[in-house]
């Protein structure tokens, strides 16, 4: 598949993307679970967050509502259109977010400017995950944090926790792994491997 094919594929996913509970976070309990999970792993607000492969901006908006300033990057204009439309609904979200079209593998963001680089379900999609991780780490200020939510899904896609931890360690960073089997994050029981790695 070419990059253009990938963009078209994600564009075509945008209209229905928020339907699963963990995507749109429309269920208050699922939303509260992600809010608690992420805020516990970020510095106190306001911090500068780069949300790479931000999709429809659900996590960016959640963090902006908590007082963080979030720059979201995605190569799908359809995803970003939805992110901007959602941000327009809330003053805190609108003022605290900026959405930029770009390649997450080489984000069009200023180096050494972010307290946090957040990626949920994006590292697995990078053609060269090691190179992407190196580019993401360059965005961080000294002492900045990388927060990676990933999974090895029952459809065979994704990255195992061991693979993600190894990638982070190979980039010269420590990695702290928390498994996320609880249904409160997904709105249903799961039987595959989902997790967050903080570095």
Q: Which residues bind ligand SAM (CB under 6 A)?
A: 10, 23, 53-55, 58-59, 74-76, 79, 103-105, 120-122, 125
Is residue 61 within 8 A of residue 34, CB to CB? The reply is no
Min dist CB 63 to ligand SAM, Å, is 12
Min dist CB 170 to ligand SAM, Å, is 20
Q: What is the DSSP letter of 43?
A: P
What distance in Å separates the CA atoms of residue 100 and residue 141, rounded to the nearest whole number?
Answer: 20
Min dist CB 89 to ligand SAM, Å, is 17
- 76 vs 199 by CB, closer to ligand SAM: 76
- 79 vs 174 by CB, closer to ligand SAM: 79
Min dist CB 142 to ligand SAM, Å, is 25
φ, ψ of residue 193 to 5 degrees: the values are -100, 115
- 1 vs 142 by CB, closer to ligand SAM: 1
- 122 vs 165 by CB, closer to ligand SAM: 122
Closest residue (Cβ) to ligand SAM?
Answer: 55
Min dist CB 199 to ligand SAM, Å, is 18
Is residue 144 within 8 A of residue 118, CB to CB? The reply is no
- 6 vs 94 by CB, closer to ligand SAM: 6
Min dist CB 102 to ligand SAM, Å, is 6
Q: What is the DSSP letter of 124?
A: G
DSSP H helices, 41-123, are 58-65, 77-88, 91-96
- 54 vs 146 by CB, closer to ligand SAM: 54
Sign, CA dihedral 21-51-198-67, equals negative
Residue 152's contacts (CB-CB under 8 Å, 6 or more residues apart) are 158, 159, 160, 161, 163, 192, 193
With vertex at residue 32, the alpha carbon angle to CA 26 and CA 33, rounded to the nearest 5 degrees, is: 105
């Amino acid at each position: 598949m070419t990059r253009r094919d990938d963009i078209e594929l994600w564009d075509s996913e945008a209209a229905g993307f928020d339907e699963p509970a963990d995507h749109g976070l429309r269920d208050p309990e699922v939303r509260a679970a992600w809010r608690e999970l992420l805020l516990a792993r970020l510095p106190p607000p306001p911090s500068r967050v780069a949300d790479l492969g931000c999709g429809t901006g659900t996590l960016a908006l959640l963090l902006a509502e908590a007082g963080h300033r979030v720059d979201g990057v995605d190569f799908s204009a359809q995803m970003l259109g939805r992110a901007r439309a959602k941000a327009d609904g809330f003053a805190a979200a609108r003022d605290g977010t900026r959405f930029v079209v770009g390649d997450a593998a080489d984000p069009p963001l200023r180096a050494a400017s972010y307290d946090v680089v957040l990626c949920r379900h994006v590292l697995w999609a990078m053609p060269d995950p090691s190179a992407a991780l190196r580019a993401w780490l360059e965005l961080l200020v000294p002492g900045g944090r990388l927060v990676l939510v990933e999974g090895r899904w029952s459809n065979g896609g994704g990255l195992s926790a061991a693979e993600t931890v190894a990638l982070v360690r190979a980039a010269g960073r420590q990695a702290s792994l928390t498994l996320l089997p609880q249904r409160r994050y997904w709105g249903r029981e799961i039987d595959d491997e989902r997790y967050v790695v903080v570095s």
